[in-house]
Amino acid sequence: MQARLAVPVLFMGLFLSGCTSGCINQVISISEVGPAGNILVRKLKIVTRDSVDLFVRYWEKQNKDRVLTTQVSKNSRQHVQTMLYLKPGTAYEYQVVVEKRGCQSMGQVESFINQELPAGLSEILMPAERKQSLPVKYQQGFTLVARRELPGQMYIADVKGNIIWYHTVRDAGFKVAHFTARSTLLSILAPLSYPTSYGDEILEVSLAGDTLFHLKKGDKGLDKTIHHEIFYNAANQLVTLTLEKKVVDLSSVGGSKADTVTGDGILVLDRHGNKVWSWSVFDVIDPKSDPRILKDKSDWLHANSLSIDRDGNYLMSFYLSGQVWKINASNGELIWKLGRGGDFSFSKHGEFSGPGSATFSESHAVHRSADNKLLLFENGTNKKRSRVLAYSLDEDRHEASLAENIELPLHLYSERMGSAYWVDSSSLLVCSSQANSVALTDRSGEILWRIRTGFVPYRAEFIDSLPMFRN
């Protein structure tokens, strides 16, 4: 990670106050602290004479009615204030506000002109299609995508496709990125020597660009290559997928007595990076039971997503086997398999089940949606057409009813990777990785909004709101 760059700022402002308490003339110095790799964030380090509460008001010079406010720094002499979501090449004004014992004083108005985006970044997300009317929730929300190539970057874009926040790591790519419930960015990173979605470090940063958690392979409980997924569970523990290798005697099926089979697993770490729990496909399945094991042993099942079901157990999808597994999060028991050769029968029901097969071929981004359906992005390699599918599951009877069958336009076909998440009850955010596209579609698959990316996006997440302190 790049170090912070501190730049002195010439300011010792006069403070205006409506009271005579000790909150006036408090500011001793203000210096600018620039987080590496993001010109849309501006940090100020402010030193005061006494311990006070402090925040900063800021606004575009040409739009004084829209005032943003930083988070309050409480009872301190050393304050770091972060101005977020700055627009490139735009003139801004700001005021430092000090509060102490019921007194509030505001400093003189200072100004700056924000930098332009670095070369190439302004065209990394390119608006391609947009209907005149979009869902209100989407208009007010944001989209997160990440770049796996070097330099690695995460981007948050608004409905116009404008980048409003980004974070750069020069020597590693972001294999997957996730916006957490506490408004942080959690990711898997790796240099180019790691293929596709596989990585060797976990990084969590704040919107201010501060590193909150960083763990590399070989440190503490991170003892294996990780891939495709990273999130926090309800116990505030980190959950990710692992690459598992096991030497297996495959001589009975035509292999050698010491063949290496590459499978997948689950790893749970605490907030300090210590291992809490782990699981492997080898715990529940014998590779010799798979008739394709000799062909697929170097990447046996290829897990590509992991999520937590409503009952707290895991849902894990596998690309090569065309299955979704449910795994007991306590004892690792394999509860059921859904998909090719699995435990469920398939049928159709509902207004949106549509034509075509009720089964799926491959899947990505499998999760339980708010309406209790199992939602997935089907790559559709058998028909060269991708779909978004939702199933109602009767887990006792092992019955899967196709409730949503959304055929995507042919130009959004993605043989690998991809994701789909509901934005509201009538629209979905879809990532078609191999089409270099992120699109908003309705339930019929019609495109309402689309951007093209200057990289292959593994996944796109919808963010319904961002913290705008004292907006």
Query: Does residue 422 lie within any of the structural domains?
Result: yes
Among residues 306, 327, 324, which one has the least CA distance to residue 389?
324
Residue 86 and residue 165 in one domain: no
How confident is the model over 217-225, as a mean pLDDT?
A: 98
pTM here is 0.91
- Looking at the chain, the whole-number percentage of residues with pLDDT higher than 70 is 92
Distance CA 165, CA 163 (A): 6
pLDDT of amino acid 128: 93
Residue 123 Cα distances to 29, 91, 142, 393, 458, angstroms: 38, 22, 18, 43, 19
pLDDT single digits (tens) 288-337: 999 999 999 999 999 999 999 999 999 999 999 999 999 999 999 999 99
Domain that residue 107 falls in: 5-113
As for how many domains the chain has, the answer is: 2
Neighbours of 78 (CB within 10 A): 10
**Does residue 276 carry a pLDDT above 90?**
yes
pLDDT of amino acid 468: 76
How confident is the model over 421-426, as a mean pLDDT?
A: 97
How confident is the model over 333-350, as a mean pLDDT?
A: 92
Task: Find the angle CA(257)-CA(263)-CA(267) to the nearest 5 degrees.
Answer: 130
**Does residue 18 carry a pLDDT above 80?**
no
| DSSP bridge pairs for 306 | 316
Residue 312 and residue 330 in one domain: yes
How confident is the model over 278-295, as a mean pLDDT?
A: 97
pLDDT of amino acid 119: 84
Query: Does residue 210 lie within any of the structural domains?
Result: yes
Pick from 113, 143, 167: which residue ends a domain? 113
Residue 221 and residue 76 in one domain: no
CATH number of the domain encompassing residue 94 = 2.60.40.10
| pLDDT-based confidence at residue 210 (cuts at 50, 70, 90) | very high
**Does residue 410 carry a pLDDT above 80?**
yes
pLDDT of amino acid 258: 97
How confident is the model over 199-214, as a mean pLDDT?
A: 97
* Residue with token string 């394709």: 292
Residue 173 and residue 311 in one domain: yes
Average pLDDT for the chain = 92
pLDDT of amino acid 102: 87
pLDDT single digits (tens) 78-96: 999 999 999 999 999 999 9
Neighbours of 423 (CB within 10 A): 19
**Does residue 16 carry a pLDDT above 50?**
no
Among residues 447, 351, 435, which one has the least CA distance to residue 390?
351
Among 349-358, 380-389, 416-425, whose mean pLDDT is lowest?
349-358
How confident is the model over 413-426, as a mean pLDDT?
A: 97
Distance CA 336, CA 28 (A): 64
* Element at 137 (helix H, strand E): helix 136-139
Phi, psi of 79 (to 5 degrees): -125, 135
Residue 135 and residue 101 in one domain: no
How confident is the model over 247-257, as a mean pLDDT?
A: 97
Residue 16 and residue 128 in one domain: no
Distance CA 162, CA 87 (A): 9
**Does residue 470 carry a pLDDT above 80?**
no
Pick from 63, 91, 113: which residue ends a domain? 113
Query: Does residue 469 lie within any of the structural domains?
Result: no
CATH number of the domain encompassing residue 376 = 2.120.10.30
| pLDDT-based confidence at residue 36 (cuts at 50, 70, 90) | low
Distance CA 187, CA 45 (A): 27
Query: Does residue 455 lie within any of the structural domains?
Result: yes
pLDDT of amino acid 23: 76
Under 8 Å between Cβ of 458 and 197: yes
Residues whose CB falls within 8 Å of the CB of residue 452, separated by 6 or more in sequence, listed in order: 125, 126, 128, 436, 437
Under 8 Å between Cβ of 69 and 106: no
**Does residue 354 carry a pLDDT above 90?**
no
Residue 96 and residue 186 in one domain: no
Residue 220 and residue 84 in one domain: no
| pLDDT-based confidence at residue 349 (cuts at 50, 70, 90) | confident
Query: Does residue 470 lie within any of the structural domains?
Result: no
Distance CA 234, CA 440 (A): 29
| DSSP bridge pairs for 394 | 399
Distance CA 438, CA 385 (A): 16
**Does residue 25 carry a pLDDT above 90?**
no
pLDDT single digits (tens) 161-198: 999 999 999 999 999 999 999 999 999 999 999 999 99
* Residue with token string 């505001």: 106
pLDDT of amino acid 435: 97
Cα dihedral sign for 395, 398, 404, 409?
A: positive
Residue 340 and residue 439 in one domain: yes
Residue 454 and residue 391 in one domain: yes
Residue 256 and residue 389 in one domain: yes
Q: 209-218: which pairs have CB atoms within 8 A and are 24 or more residues apart?
A: 209/35, 209/36, 209/37, 209/38, 209/41, 209/43, 209/167, 210/35, 211/1, 212/184, 213/186, 213/238, 213/271, 213/273, 214/1, 215/269, 215/273
Query: Does residue 166 lie within any of the structural domains?
Result: yes
pLDDT of amino acid 350: 64
Residue 75 and residue 25 in one domain: yes
Distance CA 417, CA 304 (A): 8
Query: Does residue 471 lie within any of the structural domains?
Result: no
pLDDT of amino acid 13: 43
pLDDT single digits (tens) 94-133: 999 999 988 899 999 999 999 999 888 988 999 999 998 9
Under 8 Å between Cβ of 432 and 413: yes
Pick from 63, 78, 113: which residue ends a domain? 113
